Amino acid sequence: MPPLRTALLQSSGTPGSVAGSLDLLDDAARRAAADGARLLICPEMFLTGYAIGGDVPRLAEAADGPAARAVAGIAARHGIAVHYGYPERDGETLYNAAQLIGPDGTSLANYRKTHLFGEFEERWFTPGDRPVVQAELDGIRVGLLICYDVEFPENVRAHALAGTDLLLVPTALMHPFPFVAESLVPVRAFENQLYVAYVNRTGTEDAFEFVGLSCLAAPDGTVRTRAGRGEELVIGEVDPGLLATSRAGNPYLRDRRPGLYGSLV
């Protein structure tokens, strides 16, 4: 099975303007597809902006709403899967969500952030209750988390046990926490023997200063591609061959002793 060429869009979109963010997404999808990518990953809350405060209820949409249909059109037009963050409305309930659209424009998975970070998110969003959401893309089992979720080892281990090969983590990582992108994410990839695509915002919004440093971390603990601090589109490969070799040489999942871990529940 050939590698899955994967593009990471480090961008804060156009905060407050879904139309502006969709224009940026269309251009990024075009460029990524021209470079052979089959998957484009955007940051947390990409479509609307992160620090949108009281605009959350106004900008939130259903998972099959107008913005989702626009993203589906972009994916189908360029023949590339698109994973993006957005505020989801389900009736009167709001979620910090991320959706994966296939290269034919169909929805493959929708995930609601299970671990909310800080006063802003806790005020506006309800935490999701599905810890493992997956989809298949070009023979790769793809899993979804959002930002703070990846900082809980239980979340990533649950994905590893469920067979996730590539974990998509759109994020809004801010100052003073660059060590999450620099150190924690590659460790998560190694200890769970999977790829982690960690895709961040950049620049400032309100009181938040985003640190960039998006990366694709491999199961051998190396970082296959890394963005800097500004707007950037970087591309790396998810190699099934490396997954198999690394898993054979690092049998963490096989050597677990779950009977000893009951106190963690």
pLDDT at 94 over 90: yes
Which member of 42, 44, 61, 205 is catalytic? Answer: 44
- CATH of residue 222: 3.60.110.10
Q: What pLDDT sits at residue 264? A: 77
Q: Assess whether 147 carries a catalytic annotation.
A: yes
Structural domain boundaries enclosing 233: 4-264
The structural domain count of the chain equals: 1
Q: Over 90: is that where the pLDDT of 263 sits?
A: no
Residue in 42, 88, 121, 147 annotated catalytic: 147
Q: Does 119 qualify as catalytic in the annotation?
A: no
pLDDT of residue 82: 99
Higher pLDDT, 265 or 128: 128
Residue 134 pLDDT class (50, 70, 90 cuts):
very high
Q: What is the pLDDT of residue 229?
A: 97
pLDDT tens per residue, range 150-191: 999 999 999 999 999 999 999 999 999 999 999 999 999 999
pLDDT tens figures, 183-221: 999 999 999 999 999 999 999 999 999 999 999 999 999
Dihedral, CA atoms, 72, 109, 106, 38, nearest 10 degrees?
A: 70
Residue 140: its pLDDT value, please? 98
Q: Does 215 participate in catalysis according to the annotation?
A: no
Considering the candidates 42, 61, 88, 113, report the single residue annotated as catalytic.
Answer: 113
Model confidence over 23-75: pLDDT tens digits? 999 999 999 999 999 999 999 999 999 999 899 999 999 999 999 999 999 99
